[in-house]
Chain A
Amino acid sequence: MRRVGEGVVRVVIVVTVAVVLVAAAHSAVRTTSALAGPVAGRSWSVLYEQQACLRAALRRSLPRGAEVYLKTPTVGLEDDLIFGAVLLTPWAHPTTAAAAHWTVSIRIGGAAGSCQGVGVRVRKV
Chain B
Amino acid sequence: MTVHVVVAVVLLAVPAVVPTVACVGVRPVTLFLVPLAGSVLVAVAAELELAVGGSLLMWFVILAVVANLMAARRLRRGAGPPRDSFSSPWPWITLLVVVAAVVWPLHALRNPIVLTDGYAIWTLHSIFIYGGHDTFLSGLKNPVTTFSNPGYPPLVPASGALAFIGEGRVDIRLAVIVTGVLEACGLGVVACGIAEVARRQVSAVTRGASLVVAAALCLVGFGSGIAGLSAVGGSADLTWAAAGVAAVVYGLVLPRSPRHLAIAWLCATVASLTKNEGFVTALFIFLLIAVRHRSTLVGLVRSGPFGSGRRAAAVVGEPEPDPTPSKVVRLLFVIGSTVVMAAPGLAWVLLMRLEGIGSDFVGHSTETFAQRAHPTLAAFADHLHILPVAAAVAVVGSLVLRGTRTRLGLGHPGWLWLVIAWSLVAIAATYVFGALEIKWWLATSIVRTMIFAQLALYTDLAVWCVVALTRTPRPEETTPRYRHSARTGAPVPTEPDRQLSARH
Which chain A residues have a beta carbon within 8 Å of chain B's beta carbons?
5-6, 9-14, 16-18, 20-22, 24-25, 27-32, 35-36, 40-41, 44-45, 47-48, 51, 70, 79, 81-83, 85-86, 89-90, 93-96
Contacts and interface: CB of A to CB of B under 8 A. Distances in A.
Given A12-B396, A41-B110, A44-B114, 14 more contacts: A11-B468, A14-B468, A17-B465, A20-B461, A21-B465, A24-B226, A27-B224, A28-B224, A32-B223, A35-B113, A47-B114, A82-B116, A82-B148, A94-B145
B499 interface: no
B380 to A, nearest CB: 19
Contacts of A6: 400-401
Closest 7 CB pairs of A and B: A28-B223, A31-B224, A17-B465, A48-B112, A35-B108, A36-B108, A13-B468
B290 interface: no
Contacts of B9: none
Interface in B352-410: 386, 389, 392-393, 396-397, 400-401
B113 A14 contact: no
26 contacts: A9-B396, A13-B393, A13-B396, A13-B464, A17-B462, A17-B464, A21-B220, A21-B461, A21-B462, A21-B465, A22-B216, A25-B220, A28-B226, A30-B224, A31-B223, A31-B228, A35-B228, A36-B108, A40-B108, A40-B111, A44-B114, A45-B111, A48-B173, A79-B116, A85-B144, A86-B123
Interface string B326-345: 00000000000000000000
Contacts of A70: 144
Given A10-B401, A13-B465, A86 B124 contact: yes
Contacts of B105: 28, 32
A114 B456 CA distance: 47
Nearest to B386: A20
A82 B465 contact: no
Which of B116, B147, B216, B222 neighbours the largest number of chain A CB atoms within 10 Å of its CB? Answer: B216
A121 B37 CA distance: 45
A23 B55 CA distance: 47
Contacts of A96: 143-144
A12 B399 CA distance: 14
Interface in B81-119: 104-105, 107-108, 110-114, 116, 119
Interface in B135-161: 135, 138-139, 142-145, 147-148
Interface in B195-245: 213, 216-217, 219-226, 228-229, 232
Contact of A36 (B107, B123, B397): B107
A41 B469 contact: no
B111 A35 contact: yes
A14 B389 CA distance: 12
Given A31-B224, A32-B104, A95 B142 contact: yes
Given A5-B400, A85-B145, A86-B120, A20 B223 contact: no
Interface residues of B, number: 58
A83 B170 CA distance: 16
B60 interface: no
A68 to B, nearest CB: 9
B468 A36 contact: no
B119 A25 contact: no
Nearest to A28: B223
A14 B116 CA distance: 40
A94 B116 CA distance: 18
B279 interface: no
A16 B135 CA distance: 53
B101 to A, nearest CB: 10
Nearest to B224: A31
Contact of A82 (B108, B120, B173): B120
A71 B499 CA distance: 74
Contacts of A21: 213, 216-217, 220, 458, 461-462, 465
Contacts of B229: 35
A107 to B, nearest CB: 19
B127 interface: yes
Interface in B456-499: 458, 461-462, 464-465, 468-469
